[in-house]
Chain A
Amino acid sequence: MALPELIAELRRVLSPDRVLHAPSELAAYDCDAYTVVRRRPTAVVFPHDPAEVSAVVTQCAQRRVPLIPRGAGTGLAGGCVPIDGAVVLMLTRLNRILEINLRDRWALVEAGVPNLQLARALAGTGYHYAPDPSSQGASTIGGNVATNAGGPHTLKYGVTVNHVLGLEVVLGDGSVRRFGPVAGAGAPDISGLIVGSEGRMGIVTKAWVRLTPNPHEFRTFRAIYGDVESATRTVSRIIAAGIIPAAMELMDRGIIGAVEDAYHFGFSREAEAVLIIEIDGPPPGLDRQQAQILELCAQCGAQEVLAAADPAMRDALWKCRKMAVGAVGRLSPSYFIQDGVVPRTQLPHILRRIAEVAAANRVRIVNVAHAGDGNVHPIILYDDADPEQLRRALRAGEELLLECIACGGSVTAEHGIGIEKREFMSRQYAAADLKAMQRTAEVFDPFEILNPGKLLPDRTAGAGAGRPNE
């Protein structure tokens, strides 16, 4: 591979200051928020617009050098790890909001715009962009699209794919193509196919995203339980009553303790589980739903149910949930956030299994969960100074994912496969299923240069790269 030549070309098509290649400059791009696997990229480039993205892709395609699109690098599955000497393509300079159109209910944004920047731009319009991952302060719309990001409010409003109307993408041959946003009668939804493809089917440069009218009113509750089962039973009962809350979030004792240590919200440390339940909609129906929910919480054995009295209190409840992961740093030097999903009714079972797996592997696991979706996020704590602990933590994570598959669920609900879970793809899918995916990816990336070795398992690229650093 003529790498010096490639770097010279990249410096020519961009400008020298937008191509990093000195080893000292590259360290920050070794990994994303999945820190278990780190690799050094060949170069990091900062295009400004789709034409420059296309020029970079063309250069890499000619030399068959792998290319990794990167937004904010908050991905939790190692999707941005530059295996096989890849070039990292930063989308962060494509950061303009190009249009907000309330009548069409869409916004047109460049891929590098952080989710929260769009949320702020929409404040006061009466509309919002529904997907709200907990990482929204940093994570980009392009990254959200590539991972089909979710968040606490997906129970009622769906994940990213339900809110993408169209995409502009640079395909693996350098062509710039547009799919949507006006959906023809019967034309296939190609942008919906690209959502969640983790950079394997094109580099997203622009997205037309759907805007959702703000709910008239919210009611937010915090219910405290003496045991986890009662909390999960409440979740099932609420759904069975025909109520679809905007969110139902679960936190267990371990995470509550960490949140208390960090932020002093005033939770009892005796609580085994906390549910945050939010309903939204027009005021008349909310009164009845509120009464039903309070009744169900009580029937299921909630020790205390608190209704947020005002927006400030609602914000405080959500802050406690959104900052939960950050608080984990107080519990352990290192941790990784697992992501798995089971049918909602299997939630009690999977939470029991998580506890058993933690005990068997002698690791500590604390839990947050988008309980309404059956989406668990066991957070596995370990000390990275101790390779033996890391091994046990990884093993515990693997056992949990296999259990999710056994329950009829999936090894990821919203963080994606990346490099972390690609070996699990052949556990969850049959060979023919994976082949259908592979063939589809080839159409968009004929030279197999777009994030190869991620998402799909049947490649030689990055062989062994799923292993942690020695």
Chain B
Amino acid sequence: MNVADQRPGPKLLATHAPRSVDEVAEIVRCAAERGQAVYPIGAGTQADVGCMPRRPGIGLSLAALDRLIDYQPDDMTITVEAGMKIDRLRRVLAERGQWLPLDFASPGGTVGGALAVGLCGPRRFGFGGWADYVLGLRAVDGQGNEFFSGAKVVKSAAGLNVHRLLIGSLGSLAIIAEATLMVRPRPEMQAGLACRLSDPAAADRLLDALSRSRLTPSAADLYSGALWEQLSGCEPTVGPVLVVGFAGAAADVEWMLDGLRQQWREAGVPFDAIERVEQFDALCEAAAAWPAEVGVAVRPSRLCALMARLGGVMTELPWQARAGDGMLLLRVGPRTPAVWESFVRDRIMAPTAEEPSARVAVIRPPEGSAFAPSEAWGFSEDETVVWTALKEKFDPKAILNPGRFPGAIAAAGAPGASPSDRPATDGPATPGISAATTAGR
């Protein structure tokens, strides 16, 4: 299979599949010398995340780097190469009664790919995200320098957490080659309750009650009626569905489910029914695998207010919301690129701009849409300024995943240099934070 075919955008000139980190470094070094773009590829399962590649280049498949390097169940740490499939990692851990408490968008994907994309699922609320489980990373920067950041033990305060920058930056600063992760004992039981509601305002009251109680859910999510039907296979419903789940010892989970049921009954909010969600683990995975196109991050307490601002969008589109973390995920669906884009701008971005704590990210722009990376990823000005300077340090030739993630100031004369690669706060490529300050000296 040619993984490259799953990647939208310009065709790859060739795909290399190095077998060692040294080979990865060598390939990147050669590409850097020629100013050739490099597109890292895991299993290709999330190739649609991020903006379109802007120029031709080579593919760098991590698939052959898939070894288990070290697993110490009693230390709760594991080190694997980036190309290891999530499925296999999970099997290895399950044999020892352990797991990585994250929701994987695609079990067929690779560890490196999941880290580079960095998206989390429902259980981030209770267990934290990728960054909370990554102890150390080995990576190769845009000049072919191999480096390690972090540690192989569960706690270390030595040095700067450079590895945290690689989580969620789509391989645009460095290519992840190896990861050391903290793992946990697998909980005995996971289950939840679902409550069909008339409108988001009712959900708001239940969420408020939840935050004032001492229940410790692993996830607290809202689903549009249509999406709920699709994910759970339950009866269709019109209003939103609130789903709260727990993980832990069976006795604890039952105890908290009872507490939640009682809390909901006493909240004085009208609802249709409370259903028990037995396959909560599977539901979380399905929710994480749902290919959201737009994500709106918002202060959790303002989520329902944001949904009210979005008005008709909430009934027109399927959506889910990580109510505990404050993240609304939507699918605009198949439309022509121009219609898709104007829908996002006019119906989602414009009303969201009124909500001070919210920010929109275009997670899966359709082929041909014109969002520039820093706009698509919803970077603030402060993030753009710092990220641009970081990119300059780690990938000065802008060869890693060009065009797919913010940060690159196209080097003058570089092939494919395009003005839309430029971040909003533009400036000369100075190795500092703000061009203005440096220029003043």
Contact = CB atoms under 8 A, between A and B. Distances in A.
B378 A192 contact: no
B214 A126 contact: yes
A105 B300 contact: yes
Contacts of A150: 155, 157
A189 B131 contact: yes
A1 interface: no
Contacts of B151: 341, 409-410
Interface stretch (B190-198, B339-347, B384-392): B384-392
A156 to B, nearest CB: 10
Contact of B153 (A410, A415, A432, A456): A410
A285 B251 contact: yes
Interface string B144-184: 01111101111111111110110111100000000000001
A375 B433 CA distance: 36
Nearest to B356: A182
Contacts of A440: 160, 162, 165, 390, 393
A455 B386 contact: no
B81 to A, nearest CB: 18
B160 A455 contact: yes
Interface string B289-332: 00010010111110000000000000000000000011101000
B165 A188 contact: yes
Contacts of B325: 183
A442 B157 contact: no
Nearest to A185: B295
Interface string B8-37: 000000000000000000000000000000
Contact of B147 (A159, A415, A433, A455): A433
B183 to A, nearest CB: 11
Interface stretch (B69-77, B87-95, B265-273, B274-282): B69-77
A162 interface: yes
B320 to A, nearest CB: 12
Interface stretch (A172-180, A303-311, A325-333): A172-180
B256 to A, nearest CB: 6
A169 B146 CA distance: 30
B262 interface: no
B437 A173 contact: yes
Given A187-B168, A415-B157, A425-B159, A103 B432 contact: no
Nearest to B357: A182
Contact of B211 (A105, A161, A173, A413): A105
Contact of A282 (B153, B186, B256): B256
Given A281-B248, A430-B147, A178 B380 contact: yes
B252 A196 contact: no
A456 B159 CA distance: 7
Interface stretch (A20-28, A237-245, A381-389): A237-245
A121 interface: no
A409 B394 CA distance: 27
Contacts of A443: 386, 389-390, 393, 431-433
A185 B297 contact: yes
Given A185-B295, A344-B154, 16 more contacts: A172-B433, A184-B378, A186-B118, A187-B383, A189-B164, A189-B168, A190-B387, A197-B161, A240-B73, A282-B251, A284-B251, A289-B249, A344-B74, A344-B75, A417-B157, A444-B433
Interface of A: 101-105, 126, 147-148, 150, 154, 158-159, 161-162, 171-175, 177-179, 181-190, 192-193, 195-197, 200-201, 213-214, 216, 236, 239-240, 242-244, 281-285, 288-289, 339, 341-345, 370, 373-375, 408-417, 421, 424-425, 428-430, 432-437, 439-444, 446, 455-456
9 contacts: A184-B359, A184-B379, A186-B49, A239-B76, A285-B249, A341-B151, A341-B154, A341-B155, A343-B152
